[in-house]
Amino acid sequence: MASLDDARFELRTAGYCVLCDALVERRFDGTCPAGHVAEAVQGRRLLADDEPVPTMSRFNLGAFLMPPIWGPANGAWAGAIFLPIWLFADSVIVSAARRGGMGLWIGAAFVIAATLAFEYFFARRANGVAYRRVMHKMSAEEFARQQRIWAIVSIPFALALIGWGLYFDIVLWPVLKG
Ligand SMILES: [Zn+2]
C-alpha cells in the first residue's frame, strides 16, 4: 500500500515560474521543467490527471492603464510607484508647456516614453504576479474573466485622467494663477 508521502508526490500541481514568466507544471521535486529552482515556482494549483497546464494572456490592460490602482488591488504593490512617477511626468510636461524650448520638450518626450515603457513592462508581468496569489482558489479562466472587467474599467479611467490633467494644466491652472 502506498504511503501518504507517495500519494502527495503523485499530485500534479501548476505554479507561476518567475524566471520563465509562465505557468508551469512542477516536476516531482518541485522545480520548474526548464530547470529553475523550486523557489522560483510560486503559487499552487492542483491539476486533474489529464488537465493541461493553464495559460495566461501576455498583457494586462488594467495594469497598463491604471497601475497605481490595479497593482495594490491585485497584490502587486509595486504598482503604487506609478503615482509619483505620473506626478513627476505631469510636472515635466507642464514646465515644457509653460516655458517652451526644445530641451524641455525633448526631456518631456523622454519622460513620457520611459513611463510608458515601464508601464508596459509592469503590464507584461502583471498576470503572473497577480494570478500566483489566487491560483489555489481560482481557475485561469475565472482570473481572465475578472481581469477583463479591470480592462473595461481602465479605459474610461485613463481617458478621464488624461482629460482632467489637460483641463487642469491648460484651463484651470492659468485661471488659478490669475
Ligand atoms: Zn522556469
Residue 1 pLDDT grade (very low, low, confident, very high; cuts 50, 70, 90): very low
* Distance from Cα 57 to the centre of ligand 1, integer Å: 17
32: helix, coil or strand?
A: coil
Rounded to 10 degrees, what is the CA torsion of 84, 86, 87, 88? Answer: 90
- Tell me how far the alpha carbon of residue 125 lies from the centroid of ligand 1, in angstroms: 14
Contact 62, 146 (CB under 8 A): no
Given this model, what pLDDT does residue 7 score?
Answer: 52
Cell for 36?
529553475
What is the enclosing helix (H) or strand (E) of 43? Answer: strand 41-47
Alpha helices in 11-101 (DSSP H): 61-65, 67-73, 82-99
Whether residue 3 contacts residue 28, with contact meaning beta carbons closer than 8 Å, is answered with no
How far apart are alpha carbons 73 and 75 in whole angstroms? Answer: 6
pLDDT tens for each residue of 98-152: 888 899 999 999 999 999 999 999 999 999 999 999 999 999 999 999 999 999 9
Residue type present at position 140: A
The amino acid occupying position 148 is R
Question: Does the structure show a pLDDT above 80 at 13?
Answer: yes
Which pLDDT score, from 0 to 100, does residue 175 have?
A: 83
Q: How far apart are the first and last CA of the chain?
A: 86
- Beta bridge mates, 25: 14
Ligand 1 centroid vs 130 CA: distance in angstroms?
17
Confidence at 4, pLDDT banded by 50, 70, 90: low
Query: Residue 65: pLDDT above 70?
Result: yes
Ligand 1 centre to CA of 142 (Å) is: 24
Residue 8 has pLDDT above 70, yes or no: no
pLDDT band at 67 (very low <50, low <70, confident <90, very high): very high
Q: Give the distance (Å) from ligand 1 centre to CA of residue 2.
A: 30
Ligand 1 centre to CA of 150 (Å) is 28
What residues have their beta carbon closer than 5 A to ion ligand 1?
17, 19-20, 32, 34, 36
Percent of the chain at pLDDT above 90?
Answer: 79
